[in-house]
Homo-oligomer: A and B are copies of this chain.
Amino acid sequence: MEFVPFEAAELELFTSLSSESRHFRRHDVIRQQGDDVREVYFLSEGWVGSCVDFATGSRQMVKVHLPGDMLGTPSVVLDSAAETLIALTPITIHVIPASAYSRLFMSAPRVAAAMFLTAQKERVLLMDRLTSVARTTAMQRLAAFLLHVYDRLKTVENLDEPMFELPLSQEELADVLGITPVHANRTFAQLDNTGLVDRRGRWITLLNVSGLRSLGAVPDRRFECTADWHAPALWQGEDRPT
């Protein structure tokens, strides 16, 4: 788990809390906005999108989840789910009863601290994405998004080169970027023409990573808590989870 030093124990921990695992096909809805909140999910395989639907009928994909992510956690402060969870690829999730998730705060303070820090990290990412959508052009947002996916993929699998398969349709991509599908198409073609990226079907190659970074203009965030200030408080304690 990020931020707290007990790496591989996490999957084991979450699967031990999990009552069952479920599989979904691409485009399946895992949970609908407005549904009762009784559980959260641990994504073990595949990509999932979190979408917010507005009364006007428009939809925004506020987060693209990769394996290792918890799904649906923002909704634990609500009675009815804030977001719709949609499978972007075939996926496997582990279902965690909200009550079990909640109990971690009393039984495993260091796990709780890690979950808190992860929530703060998500806030920073959302702040950056809000700024990106509010203040940059479609092409800049696309560059920023591709880089974000690339950076995240590097942490979940071994990427030698900046090349990966992006399983989103252009409509889903448009939902992420906050533009229309038609414009997503034109924008991707335009970015392609700059020579910064190469598209071969769903396979994306980032030909000029630093060029893309300066285009995207997102501040580069180093999410490490090497900071001495909170490490000592968290590293000590006898409640090491099994």
Complex Cα spacing A101 to B227, Å:
14
Do A133 and B230 form a contact, CB below 8 Å, given A75-B124, A77-B120, A116-B119?
A: no
Do A126 and B130 form a contact, CB below 8 Å, given A136-B54, A229-B98, A234-B106?
A: yes
Which residue, of A33, A63, A229, has the highest number of chain B Cβ atoms within 10 A?
A229
**Chain A, 82-141, CB within 8 A of any chain B CB:** 82-83, 97-99, 101-103, 105-106, 109-110, 112-113, 115-117, 119-124, 126-136, 140
Question: Nearest chain B CB to A154's CB is how many angstroms away?
Answer: 18
**Chain A, 12-57, CB within 8 A of any chain B CB:** 33, 37-38, 50, 52-56
Question: Cβ of A60 < 8 Å from any Cβ of B?
Answer: yes
Contact: A123 with B130, CB < 8 Å? no
Contact of A103 among B50, B83, B133, B233 (CB under 8 A): B233
Do A130 and B60 form a contact, CB below 8 Å, given A113-B105, A123-B119, A233-B106?
A: yes
Task: With CB as the reference atom, state the residue of chain B lying closest to A232.
Answer: B99
Copies of this chain: 2
Total interface residues in chain A, CB < 8 Å: 77
Complex Cα spacing A226 to B181, Å:
40
Which of A155-163, A184-192, A202-210, A213-221 contacts its partner? A213-221
Complex Cα spacing A54 to B213, Å:
12
Question: Cβ of A5 < 8 Å from any Cβ of B?
Answer: no
Mark A residues whose CB is within 8 Å of B.
3, 33, 37-38, 50, 52-56, 58-60, 62-63, 73-80, 82-83, 97-99, 101-103, 105-106, 109-110, 112-113, 115-117, 119-124, 126-136, 140, 178, 214, 217-219, 221-227, 229-230, 232-234, 236-237
